[in-house]
Amino acid sequence: MSRSIFTRRAWIAGAMAACLAAPAAAQTIGISGVFTAEGRNPDGSSYSGVAVVNEQNGSVQVTWTVGSQTYAGSGVRDGQIVVINWGQAHPVIYVVMANGNLHGTWQNGTALERLTRR
């Protein structure tokens, strides 16, 4: 197993463990807002941009702007897990952190993304 795959899996496992250990109040954190998006593509290159998240009654819409490209997706929130279908084979899966930021993975776990509240 390559080090980068191990690191991704360890990061995801850590994020999931942090969610389980977080107090129940963290489950009610709203995630609507504007975020700085930073991530790593499946090929290892990095990217950054802006993501706008709109959450209503468990339904979530996200619009990402990275460079001159805009992407949009929608999905659901179940507790601290947010799954966004964005027109690709695999959804983006985020974990809502205690501070309201979102940490996620996409492209079947081969890419990572962090949304930090602005």
89 phi, psi to nearest 5 deg: -65, -30
Quick: pLDDT tens for 16-36: 655 555 554 444 799 999 999
* Fold adopted by 3-117: Lipocalin (2.40.128)
Residue spans of the domains in the chain: they are 3-117
Question: 84's torsion region: left (phi>0), alpha (psi -120 to 50) or beta?
Answer: beta
How many CA atoms, within 13 angstroms, populate the side-chain half-sphere of residue 107?
A: 12
The C-alpha atoms of residue 69 and residue 95 are separated, in whole angstroms, by: 24
Quick: pLDDT tens for 48-102: 999 999 999 889 999 999 999 999 999 999 999 999 999 999 999 999 999 999 9
The C-alpha atoms of residue 107 and residue 57 are separated, in whole angstroms, by: 26
The C-alpha atoms of residue 93 and residue 79 are separated, in whole angstroms, by: 13
pTM of the model: 0.78
